[in-house]
Amino acid sequence: SSSPPSSFQFASAVSMVQFQHGTDPIVQLPPSPKDDLLWANTVIGKIIDDRGLSTAEVEDAVNNMWVKRADIRVSRLKDFFLFHCSNAQDTEDLIQLENVVIMGVLLVLKRRNPCVPTEEWCLNDTALWVQIYGVPTTHFNSQVAIKLAELLGQAVDVDLQHGQKRGILRVKVRIDLDQPVLSGVYFDAGEEGKVRWVSFHYENVCRLCKNCRRLGHLAESCLVPVETARASNSMHLCLVL
């Protein structure tokens, strides 16, 4: 019978093993062109909703409702949906879209980083359009829109043209999906003794809990105690210009 390989033979076979601090091995894996090709046109998605959707339901919605150039195959991995695009431009379109409503729930989309393991996949933020009601028309400008947007997250874009036609401000904001969102703020426009309530309405959000102010569920299924949520929601900001 053959003898087991010596430590020298083993190290030669795994020639790309390095040692850190003398003990911990670091294995540098060779590139896999096949895997790169497989994942190059794959977008990962996550449903931000307490209602589950099956892979078949999502794939059926994609095939029947989405405008696309070629077939998009849908698979499931843990809590994520994988959208395998046959056309590279479809991939880029989904990534640019960032989120979409599918069967009444919010689906967040992101480019897959091939260097990140599935345990570290994170889709906890997305850019949403927010409609802002209650701002005096004298303050319909980008500066005010951005200042309000920064109360919600990172300001991404301002749509003055379409917003003004509807008598509102419209801003795109990158929002942390793990945190409660503001329903509005008090707005001091410098009018003597006059403070207005300005409300925020989030586009593409079908389910927003009135108890904890988080996306993806309703108050009747909220796990946050009412007293805790009430104490948190009672803290309203006042924006002074």
pLDDT in tens, 25-40: 776 766 655 555 567 8
Each domain of the chain, given as residue ranges in start order, spans 33-120, 125-240
The answer to whether residues 90 and 69 touch, using CB atoms and an 8 Å cutoff, is yes
How is residue 207 annotated by DSSP?
-
d(Cα 30, Cα 212) in Å, to the nearest integer? 47
Token representation of residue 109: 């989309």
The residue-averaged pLDDT of 136-144 equals: 92
The answer to whether residues 119 and 221 touch, using CB atoms and an 8 Å cutoff, is no
**What one-letter code names the amino acid at 169?**
L
Sequence-separated (6 or more) residues with CB below 8 Å from residue 112: 39, 42, 43, 44, 82, 121
pTM above 0.85, yes or no: no
Q: Which is more confident, 233 or 183?
A: 183
Reported as a single tens digit per residue, the pLDDT across 57-115 is 999 999 888 889 999 999 999 899 999 999 999 999 999 999 999 988 999 999 887 77
CATH entry 2.60.40.1120 includes domain 33-120: no
**What's the first-to-final CA gap in the chain, in angstroms?**
85
Reported as a single tens digit per residue, the pLDDT across 102-130 is 988 999 999 887 778 788 888 999 999 99
